[in-house]
Amino acid sequence: MAGVPEILSRFAALYPSSRQPRIAQAPGRVNLIGEHTDYNLGLVLPMAIDLRSIVAAAPSEDDRLRVYSEELKQSAEWSIGEIDAPRGDWSDRIAGVAWALARRGVRMAGSRVLIVSNVPMGGGLSSSAALGVAAALALGGARDAAEVAEIAHFAETGFVGVPCGIMDQFVSANGRKGAAILLDCRSLDWRPVTLPAGLAIVAVNSMVKHELGDSAYRTRVAECAQAARELGVASLRDASVDDLGRLEGVGLRRARHVVTENARVEAFAGAAARGDLEAMGRLAVESHASLREDYEVSSPELDFLVETAVGLPGVVGARMTGGGFGGSTVNFVRAGALGEFSSALSSRYRQKWAKAPEIHVCAASGGAGLIFP
């Protein structure tokens, strides 16, 4: 990943007449357990990771928001006063943050922006949230991590139009080195959860990209809201196992996943505190089965990765992570088995799908912050 001197050099080459930029970074995340519970105001256990988006931004003399992505080798330009609807491309995340800041009373002017990121787009590791959080910091106007997360989340839901919960933006802004975060998405109360020594967290990107805004994600949000209405509760966070008998069909399956997944998050955090790797792995596999059968957001590639991983030596559990329909799995691997795991899983995936997965051993990372000046 490029350091500050290299970012400054690239920015100066891209925008020769500009002042030096404000540079911010924000991490992606891997969600260990608690999938599709965030927008149901439930419990999640994500971990900020050592893959990052960097946004460098400096004021311009006009009202234009000019953005360049080094990853995509693409540029985009917006008029600050005319940012009122998304275009449906990658630049919506930057324009959306400018839109969200303006609606929170920040006086927005034109800006020149450079994006450098190594969080894979569409890989289930929250590249969108990392970009939004970094942009909220680089463009200014946020006072603390909580406000940064709120601004980035407001941009994603209110401007881009993805009806997501706040988990991704929250952990990107508030990540803790060496720990995952147990977050209550209703109260936003949270605490760090240290993982057992000797356990490696490995994200495996299926290389099947997803776009949450264009997928069945919206449908799942609506189905959960309908199930909550049928039960007479504010959200499925308030439903219990006993309530499930009052539902049927799709509503029953969606609610059953949310109710049981919230319970799995608490059990997983308890198992981590005890150092019970077997229980952690069992809960991860149960989570994947629920996401596949009750929530119906997995894919053949994700199922293959999970089923193959849990049969390899040293793997205590695996599950899909992120919105689904592609993206990544998260694997819980004994540290001594990492080499064999990576080699065997990559080989079998290539044989089955004629492409190599992207494997990343994740280190629990600190959250977002300014890195210049």
For residue range 254-312, what is the model confidence (pLDDT) as tens digits? 999 999 999 999 999 999 999 999 999 999 999 999 999 999 999 999 999 999 999 99
Give the DSSP letter string of 15-84: STTPPPPEEEEEEEEEEEE--S-GGGT-EEEEEEEEEEEEEEEEE-SSSEEEEEETTTTEEEEEEGGG--
8-16: average pLDDT: 96
pTM to 2 decimal places: 0.94
Catalytic center residues: 168
* Assigned token pair, 164: 């997501």
* pLDDT tens string 152-197: 999 999 999 999 999 999 999 999 999 999 999 999 999 999 999 9
How many Å apart are CA 241 and CA 260, to the nearest integer? 8
Domains, the chain, ordered by start: 4-192+366-372 (3.30.230.10)
* pLDDT tens string 106-151: 888 899 999 999 998 888 899 999 999 999 999 987 779 999 999 9
The whole-number pLDDT of residue 214 equals 60
